[in-house]
Amino acid sequence: MDLDKTAYHKVEFPRIVLAGGRVIDNMRDELKGLGLKKVGILTSKTPYNMLREKISRSLSGANISHEYEIDDYSPHEVLSQRFLVKFSGKIDAVVAVGGGRVIDVSKLVAEKGNISFISVPTVPSHDGIASPIVSIPSAKGRTSRFSVTPQAIFVDVTVLANVPHKYIASGFGDVIAKYTAVRDWRLAHLLLGEYYGEYTANQSKTCAEMVMKKSEEIGEATKDGVRTLTEALVNCGLLIGIAGTSRPCSGSEHLFAHALDAVANFPALHGEEVGLGTMMMTYLHDADWQGIREGLMNARAPVTAKQIGVSEGNLIKALTATASMRPDRYTILGEKGLNEKAAISLAKATQVI
């Protein structure tokens, strides 16, 4: 490698990652070490009702005063602005206790308010729980970009194993996506000379292999299965911070999910859509798409358009729009992507329709 031609990039890590059983009960000492005086907690109704007491006990035990704000489902920008006005100048950090939406809005709050972000995920549905990427839904689907790295991540497997199964299935889909993300990344490197980090690419692939090995346990939502899944999700998030790009975790399968959100108005959970995309993009890479399908089925994740409530027409529309979702991201789809005939062939060959 010619180092002169390799651009440098910044690596950012969280200070603390605490993952395992009963983390929320035991995070007091770690919180103490963060030097926080007052935090604002963004959460939604269910986690607020279930976890408020434990969260408050840990924060009070660490001498951190705190106040809650409940998600009212207003657009990301609106909610983040309201949160900032309410807590303006009064808090050192925003603590996200919730799912993807709460975590994304909290990243915006931390970014705009120049304060720390602490991630306490309550569902294992995607790798945003540890990544510096913020994902904002819009009429055009979803836009993702770099935002803030969490200062600390508290992942309580006891909580994450006891959620409706679709969230676990979604997390599985978001991790196996790394098989195609890494293949697309390598292709962009070989064909267009894009920066490629072999270390992060291999680590990312390992995350996918680990959850694939445990697909049945993940399907049964055993503690061990969910633990492997959450560790993989956290690792993937960290890998984005190391690589300085979302490339190790996001390729054509993610572009497909973005296209599906745009065409069918967010029909399913992010990772459920990404899982379907992974299966189809694996077929295009001429790799073991049946293995991906089997893994998804073991994890009790959807493998057909019908299972995520998407019509055949919309699925094909999304496939033909996939390559144009992000023209700067070169993938197996090339610049123009699939025409309708090719999209139908692909969806039929992989039994998605």
| Residues found near Zn ion in the complex (CB under 5 A) | 174
Q: How far is the CB of 246 from Zn ion (least distance, A)?
A: 9
Nearer to Zn ion, 71 or 174 (CB): 174
Nearer to Zn ion, 174 or 272 (CB): 174
Nearer to Zn ion, 174 or 184 (CB): 174
Taking the C-alpha atoms of residue 346 and residue 50, their distance in angstroms, rounded to an integer, is 44
Nearer to Zn ion, 264 or 269 (CB): 269
Q: How far is the CB of 177 from Zn ion (least distance, A)?
A: 6
Taking the C-alpha atoms of residue 151 and residue 329, their distance in angstroms, rounded to an integer, is 29
Q: What is the largest CA-CA distance in the chain?
A: 62
* Strand-by-strand arrangement of the 16-20 sheet: 16-20, 152-156, 116-121, 93-98, 38-43, 65-70
Q: How far is the CB of 302 from Zn ion (least distance, A)?
A: 15
Asked if 278 contacts 176 with a C-beta cutoff of 8 angstroms, the reply is: yes
Q: How far is the CB of 192 from Zn ion (least distance, A)?
A: 23
Residue 31 vs residues 57, 110, 180: alpha-carbon distances, Å: 12, 17, 37
Q: How far is the CB of 250 from Zn ion (least distance, A)?
A: 6
Q: How far is the CB of 41 from Zn ion (least distance, A)?
A: 25
Residue nearest to Zn ion (CB): 174
The one-letter amino acid at 299:
A
Nearer to Zn ion, 178 or 214 (CB): 178
Residue 254 vs residues 167, 214, 243: alpha-carbon distances, Å: 17, 22, 18
Residue 121 — φ and ψ, nearest 5°? -70, 145
Helix, strand or coil, per DSSP, at residue 288: coil
Q: How far is the CB of 63 from Zn ion (least distance, A)?
A: 36
Taking the C-alpha atoms of residue 213 and residue 196, their distance in angstroms, rounded to an integer, is 26
Asked if 271 contacts 174 with a C-beta cutoff of 8 angstroms, the reply is: yes
| Angle subtended at Cα 29 by Cα 50 and Cα 52, rounded to the nearest 5 degrees | 15
Nearer to Zn ion, 80 or 204 (CB): 204
Nearer to Zn ion, 174 or 217 (CB): 174
User: What angle, rounded to 10 degrees, do the helices at 76-87 and 100-113 form?
Assistant: 50
